[in-house]
Structure formats: C-alpha cells, structure tokens
C-alpha cells in the first residue's frame, strides 16, 4: 500500500503480472489507478511469462510495474536473465518497479530468487517490499520492510506514519533475532517445502484429469481439474463433498479462473490425506 501510495496517482497506468495475490492488483485500483494484468501461463516445465507481451505493456505512460516473484499463487519466478531488460525498460520510461519479494527465500533449486536490488542503483526507481510472515514463519505478526531509493525515504516515512504509526517493539525485537539467527531455520523450512512440493505436485499430477505445473518457489501448487470453469463452485463442492479446503483461482484475478490453489506448507500426513480425498472425489 505504501509503495502504491508513493508511486500511483489517480488515472495512472499500472502493469501487474498475474494471477496474483489480490492486494497487489487491487491496491492500485483503490487509488484510482488503471491496472493492466499480464498473465503468467502454464508451459513446458512450469509457469512462464511472455516477455514480449510484458515489454509491450510497459509504455511511456506506465507509472508503475508491480511484479511478484516468486509468485503467489503460481510459484512462477522471473528468470535472472530477464531482470536487466525489465529494469532497462523501466529506466527508459521513468516507470517505478515495485518488486513483491515476500517469497524470495522460499525457492526450489536455489537459495534465493533473482532480485532487482542486485542490479539497481540508488537513483533507480526500484522499490522492494518484503515480509517476515513467510520465510521467518511470523505470520500474523504483520511486520515487513521496504528497500527504497534514498530520495524517497522522507516521503515513505510520512506515509508510514499515517498507515501504521509503528510496529510493536516486541515484534521488532523478534525480527532482529530472526535476521541475526534465522538462517538455519530458513534452510530447514526450504527443505520442508521442497519435500512438500514434490509430494503434492507429484500427487496431483498422478490423479487423472488434473494438471499441476511445477512451481519455482513459494508454498503453493496452482492446478486445474479438467472441465472446471467455475473455481468458486468447485472449491465449495470440494469442501462439501471431499472435506478439502482449497482457494479458488479466480480469487487471484480472472486470469486464475478454472484453477485452484493448494498451500502445501503443512505436515506430510496432512498433505497425503488431502491428496487421498481429492483422488477419491475424482474417482467417484
């Protein structure tokens, strides 16, 4: 919200990659921005973004690009080789690049997602937003941070005062401990998620009629059931008939319609039971 308040003006054009956690697309709309969503789509070996389509969408009148990588709900991650081109286009047009980096440490096959901060200078219009909720398992404590250009610090400080005032001191103390001592716990969580991803994505793809592209990071499997065109209806039926709670894909924008999101950050036995219930539902 603070990043959007800093960069988006009424009527301003904003580009978002989706499907995506609804806040990312809806906050610019709340601020009367005009949002265009560039979809990530299933492809060979996982989710892919059409870079030509994204670059064409980044026009001289684009105020901001919001890019969530690794992505919730798909697990898509922007390849490192594409960062420079995106940043160069944003530099060319003076477009703000807001990177939602909440899942940057929860990746499969690497320790960290590629970051625009590795390429940006102090003068670049790049903002990184992050959170302790996922990587450090501090969900509910609602603490995060931003990395912004030095010239923006004063404005951000004013906006924070009116949005949140301040974070409780005991939560800040916990965050300091997490940053100083949390690396072993991050490695443990990543190993748990890799195993859970293999279990759930493999299990979903073993059920006839289900397609589950491989995620690059995060904690979600985004999958579709053959013939499903109403994800809300399907999610309700799975609750009622299979006692299985999943998020409907359309909650992440129209680009997610027909899909369902499974959060596999759970005990192996719970994921296994969920797969059993889904297989039984599919085999009725």
CA distance 259 to 228: 8
Closest CA to 112 of 154, 83, 80, 147: 80
Q: Read off the pLDDT of each residue in 212-228 and give the average, rounded to a whole number.
A: 97
Decide if 108 contacts 215 (C-beta within 8 A).
yes
> How many CA atoms within 13 Å lie on the side-chain side of 99?
27
Tens-digit pLDDT profile for residues 37-52: 999 999 888 999 999 9
pLDDT value of position 242:
98
Q: What residues contact residue 218 under an 8 Å CB cut-off, 6+ apart?
A: 70, 71, 72, 73, 74, 75, 103, 106
Looking at 117, 140, 170, which one is the last position of a domain?
Answer: 170
Q: Are residues 59 and 138 in the same domain?
A: yes
CA distance 8 to 137: 31
Q: Are residues 256 and 131 in the same domain?
A: no
Domain range for residue 227?
184-282
Q: Are residues 157 and 228 in the same domain?
A: no
Q: Is residue 93 part of a domain?
A: yes
Tens-digit pLDDT profile for residues 114-147: 999 999 999 999 999 999 999 999 999 999 999 9
pLDDT of 55 strictly over 90 = yes
pLDDT value of position 43:
87
- CATH number, residue 26: 3.40.640.10
pLDDT value of position 46:
93
pLDDT of 165 strictly over 90 = no
- CATH number, residue 240: 3.90.1150.10
User: Which residue has 């399907």 as its token pair?
Assistant: 234
Tokens representing 259 are 């899909």
pLDDT value of position 258:
97
């Amino acid at each position: 919200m603070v990043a959007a308040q800093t960069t988006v003006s009424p009527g301003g054009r904003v580009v978002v990659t989706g499907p995506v956690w609804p806040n990312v697309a809806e906050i610019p709309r709340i601020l009367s921005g005009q949002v265009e969503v560039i979809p990530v789509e299933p492809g060979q070996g996982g989710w892919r973004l059409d870079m030509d389509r994204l670059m064409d969408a980044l026009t001289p009148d684009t105020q901001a690009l919001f890019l969530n990588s690794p992505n919730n709900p798909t697990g898509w991650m922007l390849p490192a080789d594409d960062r420079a081109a995106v940043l160069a286009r944003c530099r060319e047009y003076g477009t703000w690049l807001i990177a939602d980096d909440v899942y940057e440490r929860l990746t499969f096959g690497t320790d960290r997602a590629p970051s625009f901060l590795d390429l940006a200078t102090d003068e670049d219009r790049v903002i990184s937003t992050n959170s302790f909720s996922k990587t450090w398992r501090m969900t509910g404590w609602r603490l995060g941070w931003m990395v912004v250009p030095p010239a923006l610090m004063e404005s951000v400080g004013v906006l924070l005062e009116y949005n949140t005032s301040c974070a409780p001191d005991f939560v800040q103390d916990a965050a300091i401990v997490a940053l100083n001592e949390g690396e072993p716990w991050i490695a443990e969580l990543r190993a748990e998620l890799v195993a859970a991803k293999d279990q759930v994505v493999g299990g979903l793809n073993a059920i006839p009629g289900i397609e589950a592209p491989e995620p690059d990071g995060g904690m979600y499997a985004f999958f579709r059931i053959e013939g499903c065109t109403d994800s809300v209806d399907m999610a309700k039926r799975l609750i009622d008939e299979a006692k299985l709670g999943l998020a409907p894909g359309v909650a992440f924008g129209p680009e997610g319609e027909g899909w369902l999101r499974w959060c596999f950050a759970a005990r192996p036995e719970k994921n296994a039971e969920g797969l059993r219930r889904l297989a039984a539902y599919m085999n009725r």
